[in-house]
Each structure stands twice: as structure tokens, then as C-alpha cells.
């Protein structure tokens, strides 16, 4: 198979695969490094490299789950609070082997949409690399991320665009 055929096959197989379908097998550090490196190869105008990723695994991931559940609970009125949604937040994070926060850094050198587009291309590179390595992933952008500025150490010129959940399938 030539490179174009391999690429076409990977693109055709790329899907959002959700944590409920992940196995309990760990993603090797080597594959995780490959996934993250592929993100940094995304095109970006004026080489601003606007993506900022924070990796959550193990204990840090468990803390993220508890924090997001707490935020959900504290931001919902009693009439809007759903126990199922609360539990789903924790389940998705804990079932994923790795959760990556996706943050855009606005440099001021190019229009904001270009920075967001570059980050989106970086995430697409991660999706394709996950697919090539039999890793399931999906990008989620819950409103809760707006309340995570401190724990994600998001600066004034940055915005969290969500999380990439990853797990072996």
C-alpha cells in the first residue's frame, strides 16, 4: 500500500470513539508521545504554535473528574441538576486512560480564528495518529471548561476548547 492509500484508509477509519468503548489497557508512553508530537506538526500562521495541552493521567485525572463533577453540581440549580450527568462526567474521565485539555493561546499576531483553526488541525492530527495506533478518542467541549481556568492554569489570552479523551480500543 502506498502512502496515499494508507492515509486515505486512516482518514476513512477516523471516528469519535467514546470512553465506554475503551479497554482498561494503558496507552504506552511511546504512543502518547507520538500522538502529542503529531499535534505539534499542524500548520500555524506565523509559527505561533497556539496549542497548549495538559495531560491528565492517574491521580491527576481522578482529581479532574472530581473537580468537574463539583463544578457541575455547584453551577446547576436543584431543578436542572441531573444525577446521571453528574455520574457520566466522572465515568468518562475515569474510563479514559488519558485526558488532554485543549487550550488555544491567542498570540495577537494573527486573527483569533486562525489560532483556533491551527489548534483544530493539531487535534485532527491527534485523531489520525490515535486511529493509526488503535486508540479511541473524542473531543468534548462541555461548558464546565469555562470554570477550570485556575486548575488548567489558563492565562488571560487563552481559552480552553475542551478535552480529548483517549483510550485503547
Q: Give the tens place of pLDDT for each residue, 71-88.
A: 999 999 999 999 999 999
Dmax over CA atoms of the chain, in Å, equals 57
Instruction: Look up cell 502512502; give the residue.
Output: 3
- Looking up cell 483544530 gives 120
* H helix intervals, the chain: 3-13, 29-39, 58-75, 83-95, 112-132
By C-alpha distance, which of 11, 35, 61, 40 is closest to 168? 35
Whether this prediction's pTM lies above 0.85 is answered by: yes
Confidence of residue 95 (pLDDT cuts 50, 70, 90): very high
Neighbours of 155 (CB within 10 A): 12
What rounded mean pLDDT belongs to the chain?
A: 96
Q: What is the pLDDT of residue 42?
A: 98
pLDDT score, position 149: 84
Q: Is 103 helix (H, G, I), strand (E, B) or coil?
A: strand
Name the percent of the chain in helix, strand, coil, to the closest 5: 50, 20, 30
Give the Cα separation of 163 and 160 in Å (integer).
8
Amino acid at each position: 500500500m502506498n502512502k496515499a492509500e494508507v492515509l486515505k484508509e486512516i482518514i476513512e477509519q477516523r471516528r469519535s470513539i467514546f470512553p465506554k468503548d475503551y479497554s482498561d489497557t494503558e496507552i504506552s508512553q511511546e504512543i502518547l508521545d507520538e500522538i502529542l508530537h503529531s499535534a505539534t506538526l499542524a500548520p500555524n500562521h506565523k509559527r505561533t504554535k497556539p496549542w497548549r495541552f495538559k495531560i491528565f493521567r492517574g491521580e491527576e485525572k481522578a482529581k479532574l473528574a472530581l473537580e468537574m463533577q463539583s463544578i457541575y453540581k455547584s453551577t446547576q440549580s436543584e431543578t436542572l441538576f441531573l444525577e446521571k450527568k453528574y455520574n457520566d462526567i466522572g465515568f468518562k474521565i475515569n474510563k479514559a486512560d488519558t485526558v488532554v485539555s485543549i487550550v488555544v493561546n491567542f498570540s495577537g499576531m494573527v486573527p483569533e480564528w486562525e489560532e483556533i483553526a491551527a489548534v483544530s488541525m493539531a487535534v485532527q492530527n491527534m485523531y489520525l495518529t490515535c486511529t493509526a495506533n488503535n486508540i479511541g478518542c473524542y473531543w468534548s467541549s462541555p461548558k464546565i471548561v469555562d470554570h477550570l481556568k485556575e486548575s488548567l492554569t489558563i492565562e488571560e489570552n487563552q481559552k480552553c476548547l475542551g478535552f480529548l479523551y483517549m483510550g485503547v480500543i
